[in-house]
Amino acid sequence: MKTRSIFKLAGLTITIGLLSFSLCNQALAGEKPSMKRTLLLENKVTVSGNSVNGKVIRVSFPTGFKTPRHTHEGPGPRYVVKGTLQVVEGEKTDIYSEGDVFWESGQSMTVENVGGEPAELIIFELAPGH
């Protein structure tokens, strides 16, 4: 008699487990993925003229590489894809790592890969149209 009760209890436990699993899968299958939107950076821009030339540029920096002092055609957001970069713009020095976003004003600057691996940067540049 005890053996039969144990089998009934085991069967009931398995049935409850399968039912729970089935309901859980149905709930997951019914969920729709949703888009996630995160504002990473915002900056008001005034550009002279009626036309703006927008560019998206990927820059790769070998380990230890440092650019000479330079400027870009226009300001814009910059996104660090990987690595660690030290940016000296004007008199300001900052260090940015993977996932960081920063605003470059267009002042004279240098960028140095200060991490122990290659680095990548995406430049979104907003310049007066030609």
Per-residue pLDDT reduced to its tens digit, 47-94: 666 788 888 999 999 999 999 999 988 889 999 999 999 999 989 999
How confident is the model at residue 29, as a pLDDT? Answer: 60
Q: What is the pLDDT of residues 11-55, one digit of tens each?
A: 444 444 444 555 555 555 667 787 777 888 888 877 666 788 888
Specify the pLDDT at position 20. 53
- CA torsion angle 89 94 98 103 (round to 10): -50
Domain ranges of the chain: 52-128
> Is-above-0.85 flag for pTM?
no
Classify residue 8 as left (phi > 0), alpha (psi -120 to 50) or beta: alpha
Q: Which CATH superfamily is domain 52-128 in?
A: Jelly Rolls (2.60.120.10)
How many Å apart are CA 119 and CA 130, to the nearest integer?
A: 31
